[in-house]
């Protein structure tokens, strides 16, 4: 049997941009992507701590070292600049393997969106 488990988590990053006129996605600083083991086009869930919104989108690479967290397309309507969000990805895996799997959980500097 396979189950879905949390694979990666960026816990509390700050929204730096929101671009409505875009196809859709979340642009994430490549340093943060690497730290959380996220790849471009990977599906992620976004949880907005400021307003309780929860939605699903996919990752685009942002400029390395920029601290960018940009919600694009319709997702831009679910955030305001400065909102704090949690970004989570999930993976399917064998039930027994899931018991010992350790996800990548990153607690960046929320003010600067930098890996501590």
Would you please indicate which residues are annotated as catalytic (active-site) residues?
25, 58
Secondary structure tally for the chain: helices H, strands E: 2, 8
Overall size of the chain counted in residues = 116
Q: Which of 64, 86, 73, 74 is nearest to 14 (CA)?
A: 86
> Distance between CA 9 and CA 29 in Å, rounded?
14
């Amino acid at each position: 049997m396979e189950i879905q488990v949390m694979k990666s988590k960026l816990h509390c990053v700050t929204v730096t941009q929101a671009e409505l006129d875009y196809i859709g996605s979340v642009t994430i600083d490549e340093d943060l992507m690497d730290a959380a083991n996220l790849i471009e086009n990977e599906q992620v869930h976004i949880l907005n701590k400021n307003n309780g919104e929860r939605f699903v989108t996919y990752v685009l690479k942002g400029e390395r070292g920029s601290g960018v967290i940009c919600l694009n397309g319709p997702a831009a309507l679910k955030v305001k600049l400065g909102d704090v969000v949690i970004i989570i990805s999930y993976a399917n895996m064998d039930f027994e393997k899931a018991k010992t799997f350790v996800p990548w959980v990153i607690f960046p500097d929320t003010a600067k969106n930098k890996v501590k």
